[in-house]
Structures are given as C-alpha cells and as structure tokens.
Amino acid sequence: MRLWNRVQSWLRAIVGRSRIESEMDAELRFHINAFAEDLVRSGVPSEEARRRANMEFGGIERTKEECREARGVSFTETLLQDLRYGLRMLRKNPGFTLIAAFTLALGIGANTAMFSVINAVLLHPLPYPDSHQLVLTFLGDATGSSSRSSYGIVDYLATRENQKSFSHFAAIGLGQNSFTYIGAGEPQRVRGTPATGEFFAALGVQALLGSTFNPASEAPGQPREVVLSFRFWQSQFGADPFIIGRSMLLDGQPYSVVGVMPSDFHFGPRDNDEIWPLLQLGPSEVRPPYWIAPFGRLKAGVTRVQAEADLSRIAEHEQHLFPKSSYDRVSIVPMKAFLVGDSRIALFTLQGAVLLVLLIAIVNVANLQVARASTRERELAIRTALGAGRGRLIRQLLTESLVLAAIGGTAGFALAQLGVRAMLTLAPDALPRMSEVTVDSRTLLVSSIFSLLSGILFGLVPAFRGSGGGIGMGLKSTTGSGQPAARHRLLAILVVAEFSLAVILLTGAGLLARSFERLLSATPGFSPQHLITVQLALPDARYPQESQIADFYRQLLERLEALPGVQSAGISMSLPPNLLALQNPFRTPAEPIVPGKELHAAEEMTVSPGYFRTLGVPLIAGRFFVDADRARSDQILIINQTLARQYFPNQDPVGQRLQTGDADERSPWETIVGVVGDVKYQGLDAKPESTIYVPYFEKGWTSWSREMFLVLRSTSSEAALMPAVRETVWSMDKQLPIASVRTMDALLADSIAQPRFRTVLLGSFAALSLILAAAGIYGVISYSVVQRTSEFGIRIALGADLNDLLCLVLTRGAKLALLGVAIGAPAAFMLARFMSSLLFGIAPADPLTFVGVSGLLLLVALCACYIPARRASRVDPMVALHYE
C-alpha cells in the first residue's frame, strides 16, 4: 500500500511535472494570502500584511526545492539537468567529442552491419510459413561411410507413395538450372528450377495469379506446366493479366503457364527472373542416377528422428530391390541449416572480431575520458565541495557518457546502413541468403543495446575514478598532478587490454589473408588467362539424334577456330574451377564387384579433342583425343594424374582399362589412351580428385552432351571476339541461346568470393583495431611524457643522454605493447582453432602469422610512441622546471 503510494507520487512527479509545480505554487500562495488576510483582519495595513506574511513564511524557492526533494521530483529534474550539462560539456570540447563519437560510431556501425548479416542469414526463418517444418532428405548408409547423396527417381517415387512423416513431399531436379526460352526476341537462357507437383504446396505458398501446380500433372504424358516468378512475368510478358493458360516454349517443348508467384516469393536469390517448370517423373528400371533433391514439410508432432526412421524403412526396401546399390538409410537436414551451410563459422568469427573492435573502441574512449579527467578534476572537486555526493557525481559522469554513446550510436547506425549497402553491392553472392540482408528493427534494437552497453562501459571507468579522491586534493593541485601514479596504472591497463584484443584480431585476419594468398596461388591445373566460356544447350526436340549433336559441335568448333583472334576452341561438360556436372563410379580390373560395396567415384566428363589444348592442360603420358577417334568402335578414356597415381602405381596406365558407371560385369572395358595433369573442378581449395575424360562423340555419351561449356582461347580481347562468336553460333542455329558468357578469370574470382569476402572484412576490422590501438598507446605515452616533463627537464639539466631519454619512453611503450601481445596470444590461438575450417594450406598455429602479428604490433607501438618520445628528449630544462 505504502509502496504503491510512493510509486504513484513518483509517477505523478515524473509525468505531471508542470501540473505539480503549478499546484505547489498555488498551495504556497494560498498560505501566504490567507495569512496576510488574517493579519489585515487583525488591523495590519494590507501592504504591511503582505510584506510580513512573505517574510514570516521564509524563502519560498527554498521551500519549493525542499518540497520537490521530499516527494521525489528530483529524479527527472536531475536527469534533465545532467543531460543539459553533459551536452554543454561535450560542446565545450568539440575535439574530444568528435574523436570519441567517431571511434564509437566505427565500432557500433561495424557491429550493427555485421549483425544485420547474421540476422538475415542465421536468425531469420526462411521466408515460408512455418519454415522450421521444412527439411531436406538425403540417402546414406548405415555405416555413414558414404557421403550424403541426392535421390534417384526410384527412391523419390517410392517415398512419395509410402512416406508417413510429411504433409507434403516434393523435390527439385538438380540436373538443370536453366532453360532455353524462345519468346519474341533472341533465344535466351533463363533461370529455372524443375520442381515436382507438391513444390509450392510444401513451401506453403500461393500463386499471385492463377494457381500453382496441379499435382496430378506430375505423371509423364500429362500437359507440362510452368509457374513464373513475378519478375519474369513483368520483364518477359509486361505483366500481362491474361497470361494464365498461355503456352511458352522451353527447351523446345510447349509448357502451359499456370501461375505467377507473388513478388516477395523466392527460392534461391531474391528478385530473380525465374521459372519453375513442372518436373514429371515416370517409373525407372534403375536406382541411379541420383539427381533429385527432395524436401518435405514435417507433419505436426513428427520429429526428425521419426521421419528418418520412416524414410530409412523405404530406402532399405529399395536397397533390397537393387542390391548393387548402396543406400539403405536416410538422413534429414533442416532446410535452413542446409542453405546456411558452413557460413556459420565464418559469420561467428566475423561477429566476434567486430565485437573486439567495439571493445577496443570503448577502451580508447575510456582512455580519452581518463586523460580528460585530469583537466576536470578541479571541476569535480568544486562540485563535491558544493555538496554533490559521490553517487551524484557518478550519475552525472555516466549521463555524459551515455549522451556520447547515443551520438556515437546514431552515427554508427547510419554507418551500418552504408556498410550493408556496400557489402551487398561489392559481394552479393558472398554468402547464402545474402540478398535477404537488410537493416531492420531488430538490428536497430541491437545497435541501441551496443550503444547503451558501451556508454556504461566506458563511462564507468572514469566515473569511479573521477568521483574518488578527497576534495582538497583536486582543489589544491592546479596542474592536474593529482594522483598520477594511479591514473597511469589505469591508463596502462587500458592500453595493454587494447593490444591484447588487437593481437586476436590481427592473428585472425593474418591467418585468413595467408590462406587466401595460398588459395590465389593454388594452381588450377591450366592457364586461365585469355579464356572465354559460353554455355550451350542443344534441345532434344531439334537434336534427337546423337549424330546431329556430334555434327553440330564438330562444325561449330571448326568454324570458331577459323575465326581471327581465336587460337583454339573446345567443349566440355564441366568446367574448372567449380562447375562439375557429373560424378560417376568406376573400377579397375584389379577390383572385383562386391554387392553392397560402393565403387570409387571419379569426376567424369565429355570433352572435345581440342579441350586440353585450349585450357592448357599438360599431357603427362600417352596422347590427347584426336578426330580420328570418331571412327573407333571401342571406347577410350583419358585419366588425370591423381587417378593414375592412385590406381596404377608403378605401372604405365596407358593401355590399361577401366569400367565406368554402376557396378555391372557386362559393362564394356574402356581403354586409357592418355594421362593429363590434374584440373580442379570442385573449387580451388578442394583436394585433387580422380578425373575421367571421354570424347563427346563416343556412342552413348553424345546424348549426355547436349549442355556443354564452350571454351575459347583468344589472342585478342575477349570483348572484341564475342560478336563474331555469336554470329558463328547463330549461323548454324538461329534458335540457340548464348548464355552466361564469362571469362575464366571471372569464374575464378567468383569461385573464391566467400573467402575473399571474409578476408576483406576481417582484414578491415583488424586494420581498424590496429589504428585504434596505435591511437590509444600514442595518447597514453604522450600523456605520461607531459606528466613527467619536469623529470625529463631535470635529467637533461643533469646531462642525461638524449638517446637514453628517447629509449626510456620507447621502452615503456614497447613493454605495454608486448605485455598486451603476451596476454592476447592464447586467445588468438583459440580463435585460430575455432576458425581452422576456414583456413587453407596453413596450420592454425602458423608461426609466421603469430610472429608477424607480434612484430607488427610492436612496430606500430614504437612508431606511435616515437613522437612523444622525441618530445621528451627535446624538453628545455628551463621551461620544464618552471612547468610545475
């Protein structure tokens, strides 16, 4: 009850301040007036009565002040007063305010920007209703020895019929991600994901226009359906409202448009011109190939473990039906976890790094505050003398810090917006879900928390320091030499802290930079300069025969090689550095087929004879393919060095034979005619794998070679060559799209976008921390030199060697820096261990990095200390002695 009264009167005091003030005024005036009237009634003249009433009442303002205090008005009062005072103090020291606010803005801005990324990539649910129920399913085996595999048709169909765990079960086809679309203009290649009938239903999304797929159309022979993205509908059909039911030609086949998705729907990057053709799957006689990625929406109450058991039962049954295959288990991965993948470690590392930057920034501002406190000591002492309590002073200093933090935070939030925009333009594909990154209310909240916390942190140190100490001490000392020893110790601790934080950051950045350098110098296995790559796709409808495909490519390559500026031309199913299309099992004659035992997998691809020469892949043994091989009836192969070394050690692989494809005794044996150097098809950071090359004109392989990469080695500039290449292609087939024209240099750069992104980010954070740490140590050493001016003066007067003085100051700086390095090193090593999966080609405890970082920090510390050290050695003894 009493507590409630208190709260009420408090609330009234805060909320209705002006009403309370006027009431108090009225109440006191009533008293004086009533008193004066009583006096008049007793015969005192009215002038005199008024005067006496006022006098006997006493100081009305003092009474009011006491009343305010009595009812707890003082809180808001004081706060407002402190705010005003704080702002005035900050305005009076624009230099300090600017530097401190900017330092904070950098720290808070970097944190906010980084958090926006984490927020979008890791924290936000996928943009589908109840997206936590969405999971992907993979085939595997009981031993867990084989890696996760996609599904084949057999497994997909069986699961669709028999599963009990999902409310919806759908899949996308992995074999194709673009389609040739012939509309009004030139034929084009459009982004498209083949999807089964339940695709949209499983994601839980509705069409904006028309409808999504009719699941009954999933059976082959039913009319083909396609759903368009909003952007595609706008760009290709001018947002035609009558589009539903129209037919469009994709890869030469008519598809009927059944729906248009809302503009905010995306599966993959946002705002894409995209289509989703219906994937129709009929029964299959064989279990492989595995090119279907199924996913489903878990029924309410079904756990992942239950679903895994349910689906494994189906896989086991299929394994029974196809004993030569080797998948009898299913593993389930939440869709979000799968999409986000291993970016988690990189993101946590970066966020941790940027938090360290903020800490360093806070330490730096605290440093500034402590140094400034010396000049404010008298001010604080006077306030104490006038009756301000210790708590009162702390509150005032803290309010001041919070004002500063608020300024820094606001600027930081603005910086974060810029930073995020810069990240999105510079590295749009650096992370999965990158297109979803925005600065939203949650980011704003986190940014405010960062500001508040930093305000409290850097405010508390000087507040407790500043409010301590006796009154006399502060008032008497005019040169601020109050308690220099204690302050020096505090400043030194802050500097050591800064350096230990900087060590962690620099080590992380150093390791990433060294890995990235290794990555850049990793040999891709060919010479990437002056190469142009183009995607070609020959539609089934117009090239039904293998001979037609082979003839087309032969003629095209001949014509292209005849072009001026083209040195050589080739085609391949896969391209380095990371555009691998197919992996295939194989065995050597030495390995018998054992049921249930998986064969080794090799990267296998069809190529033209000129492919190796065009890319510059070296021949190690035997020969390349030649045009004369077209006439052969037997099958031939070229293998890479890794395969040769691993499976034909100490023998000549040329002339040896391999079986490729699924384990089958009756498969033909194929003869190795050559060995070439290793080429990386699965990323520059991947280990070299076994690779098998087949001529594209070989029987059975040609129909697999409809979608090929064309590679040209040019003698002139790539840009000048392209029109002629286009002309040549269209002179043979006007309806072929020329898609994704890229230089090999660009493909290489794309393939390392992620490591580049994190290296650049962590590098800039580390640079920031280095600058801040340098500024911190510079400030502290300068301050100590000023404090010891007279001492230096006396030493010089007594004939001290100037170089000795220089050394004295430098040594002090170096000691602080080294102490910081020593303290930070173990933490840096822990960080290195944490991020070891991001490293390539170097160990987490890379000695060069650790030594280099320590040396760099020491060097920076010495440079930062050199200016104040020189100042110390130049002290004029006379001036110095007068100084105190």
Partner 1 sequence: MAKQVDLLQGTLEMLILKAVSLGPLHGYGVLLRIQQISKDRLEILQGSLYPALYRLEHNGLLVSEWGESENKRKAKYYRLTTAGRRKLRTEAENWNRMADVIAGILQSKPEEV
Binding site for partner 1 (CB under 8 A): 1-2, 4-6, 9, 23, 26-28, 30-31, 33-35, 37, 56-60, 62-63, 66-67, 69-72
Q: How far is the CB of 396 from partner 1 (least distance, A)?
A: 24
β-pair partners for 276: 227
Amino acid, res. 726: R
Comparing C-alpha atoms, which of 560, 548, 570 is closest to residue 730?
A: 560
* Integer angstrom CA distances of residue 808 from 222, 437, 862, 865, 869: 88, 51, 12, 11, 8
Q: How far is the CB of 5 from partner 1 (least distance, A)?
A: 3
Alpha helices in 124-229 (DSSP H): 153-162, 199-203
Q: Which is nearer to partner 1, 27 or 264 (CB)?
A: 27
Q: Which is nearer to partner 1, 25 or 634 (CB)?
A: 25
Q: Which is nearer to partner 1, 8 or 716 (CB)?
A: 8
832 within 8 A of 510, measured Cβ to Cβ? no
624 within 8 A of 674, measured Cβ to Cβ? yes
Q: Which is nearer to partner 1, 28 or 414 (CB)?
A: 28
Q: What is the DSSP letter of 687?
A: P
The CA distance from 225 to 788, in Å, is 84
Q: Which is nearer to partner 1, 70 or 594 (CB)?
A: 70
Q: How far is the CB of 28 from partner 1 (least distance, A)?
A: 7
Buried b / exposed e along 537-553 (16+ C-beta atoms within 10 A): bbbeeebeebeebbebb
Q: Mention every residue, 6+ apart, whose C-beta is less than 8 A from residue 720.
A: 565
Q: How far is the CB of 69 from partner 1 (least distance, A)?
A: 7
Size of the chain in residues: 884
The CA distance from 756 to 768, in Å, is 18
The position carrying tokens 């299913």 is: 330
Q: How far is the CB of 761 from partner 1 (least distance, A)?
A: 55
Q: Which is nearer to partner 1, 18 or 521 (CB)?
A: 18
What 3-state class would DSSP assign to 475?
helix
Q: Which is nearer to partner 1, 26 or 732 (CB)?
A: 26
Q: How far is the CB of 41 from partner 1 (least distance, A)?
A: 10
Q: How far is the CB of 67 from partner 1 (least distance, A)?
A: 5
Q: Which is nearer to partner 1, 9 or 527 (CB)?
A: 9
Q: How far is the CB of 14 from partner 1 (least distance, A)?
A: 13
Q: How far is the CB of 125 from partner 1 (least distance, A)?
A: 50
Q: How far is the CB of 15 from partner 1 (least distance, A)?
A: 15
Q: How far is the CB of 11 from partner 1 (least distance, A)?
A: 12
Q: Which is nearer to partner 1, 15 or 626 (CB)?
A: 15
Torsion of CA 304, 310, 311, 313, to 10 degrees: 140
Q: Which is nearer to partner 1, 27 or 804 (CB)?
A: 27
Q: How far is the CB of 1 from partner 1 (least distance, A)?
A: 7
Give CB contacts under 8 A, 24+ apart, made by 662-670. Answer: 662/286, 662/288, 662/324, 662/325, 662/585, 662/599, 663/324, 663/585, 663/587, 663/593, 663/599, 664/324, 664/593, 665/593, 668/634, 668/635, 669/589, 669/635, 670/634, 670/635, 670/636, 670/637, 670/694
Neighbours of 592 (CB within 10 A): 9
Q: Mention every residue, 6+ apart, whose C-beta is less than 8 A from residue 504.
A: 353, 356, 824, 827, 828, 831
Q: Which is nearer to partner 1, 27 or 429 (CB)?
A: 27
Q: Which is nearer to partner 1, 13 or 114 (CB)?
A: 13
The token pair at 111 is 């944190």
Q: Which is nearer to partner 1, 4 or 242 (CB)?
A: 4
The CA distance from 196 to 194, in Å, is 7
The token pair at 413 is 């939030």
- Measured CA angle at 141 (ends 137, 142), to 5 deg: 115
DSSP string, 625-678: --GGGGG-SS-EEEEEHHHHHHHSTTS--TT-EEEESS--TTSPPEEEEEEE--
Q: Which is nearer to partner 1, 62 or 687 (CB)?
A: 62
Q: Which is nearer to partner 1, 24 or 174 (CB)?
A: 24
Q: How far is the CB of 34 from partner 1 (least distance, A)?
A: 5
Q: Mention every residue, 6+ apart, whose C-beta is less than 8 A from residue 249.
A: 181, 182, 255
The token pair at 567 is 């040195």
In angstroms, what is the C-alpha Rg of the chain?
A: 38
Q: How far is the CB of 37 from partner 1 (least distance, A)?
A: 7
Q: How far is the CB of 42 from partner 1 (least distance, A)?
A: 13
DSSP string, 482-499: SSHHHHHHHHHHHHHHHH
Prior bond to 462 cis, omega within 30?
no
Q: How far is the CB of 383 from partner 1 (least distance, A)?
A: 24
The CA distance from 455 to 405, in Å, is 5
Q: Which is nearer to partner 1, 34 or 486 (CB)?
A: 34
The position carrying tokens 């003698």 is: 715
610 within 8 A of 558, measured Cβ to Cβ? no
Q: How far is the CB of 12 from partner 1 (least distance, A)?
A: 10
The position carrying tokens 């010891």 is: 788
Q: Which is nearer to partner 1, 76 or 256 (CB)?
A: 76
Q: Which is nearer to partner 1, 66 or 664 (CB)?
A: 66
What 3-state class would DSSP assign to 188?
strand
Q: How far is the CB of 386 from partner 1 (least distance, A)?
A: 21
Neighbours of 492 (CB within 10 A): 18
The CA distance from 623 to 17, in Å, is 94
